[in-house]
Amino acid sequence: MLTPAEAATLVFPAVNQAALDYLKAACSRGERVVCAASVANDEVAAAAGELHRLPAIHDADFATRFFALADAQSIVRVLCPVSTVHAFMTRFLAQRRPDLQLIGESPVQQQIAAHRALMARAQRLMPLVELCAGGFPALSLREAAGVLRQASLIYGESNDDKLAAMMGIFARAPQGDVVEIGSLMGRSAFVLLYLAWRHRIGALLTVDPWTAAECAQHDSPAALQHVTDEWDYEVLSEGFMLNLVPCRADDHAHLRLPSEAGFAAYARGEPIRSPFGRPVAYSGTIAVIHIDGNHDHAAVNQDCGLWLTRLAPGGWLILDDYVWAHGDGPQRVGDALLRDQAEGIECAFCCGKALFVKLRH
Ligand SMILES: C[S@@+](CC[C@H](N)C(=O)[O-])C[C@H]1O[C@@H](n2cnc3c(N)ncnc32)[C@H](O)[C@@H]1O
């Protein structure tokens, strides 16, 4: 009887990222992994320490060599990260060695399951998208699912419900500039850029200084005030730019400035250069603004005090973290706005922790 430490998992054919991912995760939980392939792979060999060579599955000596390796290495499980080989291995092991457990779904079956889960996720959000669109033509299920999928590939702090509400409100936004204060690595900026293009609203301006000093949350509990000090802000900045590369980039510019300096640059009314060096013209009137920068009360108050002076009639404010566990800056500013400017507000609601406010026309 093998002990858990002796029993090993064979990854075959260990030739791709899925093999490397399994190897890394298995090693971190103390599982012994043996990698094998029919072709050389220096990356896997380096990560695994050794890459055993086996014949191709259709070669006459495959079964003999495969079982010899399995027995010599105390293999009890087999992970097969290539769909065609997985299909072969399902029958092969069932007929010849049912004691070897084939673990994990076939990669193509994993993709099919992931696609179905994504469509179910988007389907759940569609009533919210349509509700927020208020009877105007909204995104289709496929579009919403596509936006969700791409947004999910980008690290960020906007959840599904907030993104769905964003998808909806653009259907009834006026024309003008789309602005985001606080972009991190671009999850919400990607969604805003897509929606601005899809509904022909206007160009996107993102503003984020990516510095530890600006990120510090002085109003939050002491343990949380400086958790962001250790972040590598050059990586966040480069990651943001990379994440937006596949999007239409002619109608987006970024200001690597704090919100206040960003507003001064925007208010000059001159074109701002896109990441590709092309001038992006802004109308000076904002159709949709997403305020998601520093959440200290003074910072949110300043963001709203500056930028909302440019919000168009019928325009939308999205004030992030109106409901927030680590402070009440956005909530206090949002509540003051709802109270003091009630007559100018057409509608307001809270969704995905953000406050959505639409001005009257
Ligand atoms: C909560 S994250 C933004 C998350 C992003 N909107 C998303 O959905 O993934 C906050 C961001 O605000 C930025 N920030 C902090 N202070 C700022 C300021 N004064 N002006 C603009 N951005 C600021 C930070 O650098 C950080 O990237």
DSSP character for 171?
Answer: G
Q: What is the pLDDT of residue 248?
A: 66
Is 263 touching ligand 1 by the criterion CB < 6 Å?
A: no
Is 206 touching ligand 1 by the criterion CB < 6 Å?
A: no
For residue 209, what pLDDT band results from cuts at 50, 70 and 90? very high
Question: How many whole angstroms from 295 Cα to the centroid of ligand 1?
Answer: 9
Residue 340: how many CB atoms within 10 A of its CB? 9
What is the mean predicted confidence (pLDDT) over 269-276?
95
CA atoms within 13 A on the CB side of 203: 21
- Domain over 8-104 is classified CATH 3.40.50.300: no
Angle at the Cα of 165 from the Cα atoms of 162 and 168, rounded to 5 degrees: 155
Q: Which residue has the higher pLDDT, 260 or 221?
A: 260
Residue 347 has pLDDT above 90, yes or no: yes
Question: Which tokens is 35 given?
Answer: 């990698």
Question: How many whole angstroms from 207 Cα to the centroid of ligand 1?
Answer: 8
Whole-model pTM: value is 0.92
Q: Which residue has the higher pLDDT, 223 or 56?
A: 56
For residue 174, what pLDDT band results from cuts at 50, 70 and 90? very high
Residue 279 has pLDDT above 90, yes or no: yes
Residue 196: how many CB atoms within 10 A of its CB? 24
Q: Of all helices (H) and strands (E), which one includes residue 307?
A: helix 297-307
Is 13 touching ligand 1 by the criterion CB < 6 Å?
A: no
Residue whose structure tokens are 């193509």: 108
What is the mean predicted confidence (pLDDT) over 330-358?
98
CATH class name, domain 168-359:
alpha beta
Q: Which residue puts its alpha carbon closest to atom 9 of ligand 1?
A: 156
Sketch the domain layout of the chain as residue ranges: 8-104, 168-359
Q: Which residue has the higher pLDDT, 230 or 274?
A: 274
Question: Which tokens is 154 given?
Answer: 């980008």
Q: Percent of the chain beyond pLDDT 90? A: 90
Domains 8-104 and 168-359 share a fold: yes
Is 210 touching ligand 1 by the criterion CB < 6 Å?
A: yes
What is the mean predicted confidence (pLDDT) over 137-158?
97
Is 182 touching ligand 1 by the criterion CB < 6 Å?
A: yes
DSSP character for 280?
Answer: E
Cα–Cα distances in Å, from 331 out to 285, 293, 303, 306, 339? 25, 14, 14, 18, 12
Tell me whether the omega of the peptide bond preceding residue 13 falls within 30 degrees of 0, making it cis.
yes
Beta bridge partners of 311: 286
